[in-house]
Amino acid sequence: MAQAASRLLAKAAESWPLLVLIGLALATGLACLRIRRSRRNRADSERLARLRITLPWLDAMDDQQFEYALRDLLARDGWAATKVGRGGDQAADVIGVLIPLGRIVVQAKHTHIGGKVGSSVMYEVKGTAGPAHRADHAVVVTNGSFTRDAMAWGDRHGVHWIDRDRLGQWAHEGKALHELLRLPSRRSLLPWRRAT
């Protein structure tokens, strides 16, 4: 075994120029891949920063497309957002994280024009946002409207709501969701960092 290792080292010593060339080719290839990925990420970020979606376009979407659009709008606003909505999603279609605002759960309610979202959706989101998703903020978004009871209940119990008017400000006019909702920064849970 020692002889085989010594022969292998001798052959490597003889062909070191070839090994150096292979190493340089691999390093150059990896550098080119990184540059391409960086350019693609920058282009995606610039495209996302310009993202504007009109209300008629949102109305024409199906439920899944609407959820993806909300995810993209959150990403445009700086949130690390993921679409999670599916059967049994526990009232979360999109989840996002943005330091220092924390974690947000978005429940999407795509309706026909004139459709209204009722209080039961608010109860469900309030009941699952914290316990199931560890969210600091919960929001229900619709391209329609909310009943008066749903808006009042949401305001009283900390479930934000985005109706058609607010959706237009967010999606089409480009106002950031956290600014539109005036979301507070997440407070530290560490005892020495709490305000007195």
CB-CB contact of 63 with 165 (8 Å) = no
Calculate mean pLDDT across residues 134-139: 94
CB-CB contact of 86 with 67 (8 Å) = no
Which pLDDT tens digit goes with each residue over 46-104? 666 678 999 999 999 999 999 999 999 999 999 999 999 776 678 899 999 999 899 99
Contacts of 78 (CB under 8 A, 6+ apart): 98, 176
Quote the pLDDT of residue 65. Answer: 97
Quote the pLDDT of residue 136. Answer: 94
* CA pair distance 69, 75, nearest whole angstrom: 10
The H or E element spanning position 101 is none
Which pLDDT tens digit goes with each residue over 2-61? 888 888 777 777 776 776 777 788 888 888 888 877 766 665 556 666 789 999 999 999
